[in-house]
Amino acid sequence: MPDERNDKFLDELLDASLRHYSDAAPRERLEGRVLAQLRSARAARSQRRWVWALAVGVAATVVIIAGIAIHKPVPVRPMTASQHASEPQPKLTRGPVGPGLALAKATPRGGPTHTKNLAGKTGNHGLASQLAEAHWPAQFPTPAPLSEQEKLLLAYARWMASSAQKNPAVEEQQDNLEIPLLTITALNISPLEGEKDNPEK
């Protein structure tokens, strides 16, 4: 009997203890506290999203601007003859260089060679289209390196300029040079023999 009573008591005690084990009441307004924290967390989350969206937008704008700046065609400035002379002279090739490129690099004096190149590769029929597609320089006629005569003339001009700077009196003297007046004597043309004899004719 005592064992049965003890067994029954243990069952009741265990049931009641297990029932009370997690029967814990939270502090008041648990839901309010949880909701407040969730709202703040969601607000912070949406704020982070906006910041990221803004950062991505700025980065995209920068990339687009950089792309435009990189791919913008550089305006071709016409070269002067002196600038062109200082650059290395391009080589005319018959190899893999395309016709357009060869044309752009060719000089007028090298013209016959270049025309020969185009004609030799494609024939006369395709020459017109190739010429149309060719990337022509902005300046026409194409600047060419100076010839020997031009170089001599340029050197002379520079020498003259430098000598004038060194000795201004020479220039002044040149300005003050008196040019003697030309005297032209009157023409005295004697008539021909036949005209003397028969003046009526």
Partner 1 sequence: MHAPGTETLSGLRTIADAAGEDLEAAVEQYARTVYRVAYSVLRNHHDAEDAVQETFLRLVRHQKDWVAVRDRRAWLARVAWRVALDRRRAAPEISLEDAAGAVRDLRAAGASADEIAEREQMTALLAKLIATLPEDLRNVVTLSTVEDLTSPEIAEVLGIPEGSVRERLMRARGILKEKLSRCLERKDARRKE
Angle of CA points 106, 133, 147, to nearest 5°: 15
Using the rule CB under 8 A, is 18 a contact of partner 1? yes
Q: Which of residues 89-108 bind partner 1 (CB under 8 A)?
A: none
Beta carbon of residue 53, minimum distance to partner 1 (angstroms, whole number)? 14
Using the rule CB under 8 A, is 73 a contact of partner 1? no
φ, ψ of residue 134 in degrees (nearest 5): -60, 145
Contact segment (CB under 8 A) with partner 1 among 23-31, 74-82, 91-99, 161-169 equals 23-31
Binding partner 1 (rule: CB under 8 A), the pick from 34, 76, 119, 170 is 34
Q: Which residue do the tokens 């004899």 mark? A: 197
H-helix or E-strand containing 58?
Answer: helix 30-71
Tell me how far apart the alpha carbons of residues 32 and 38 are, in angstroms, rounded to a whole number.
10
Contact segment (CB under 8 A) with partner 1 among 33-41, 64-72, 173-181, 187-195 equals 33-41
- Binding residues for partner 1, rule: CB under 8 A, are 6, 9-24, 26-27, 30-31, 33-35, 37-38, 41-42, 45
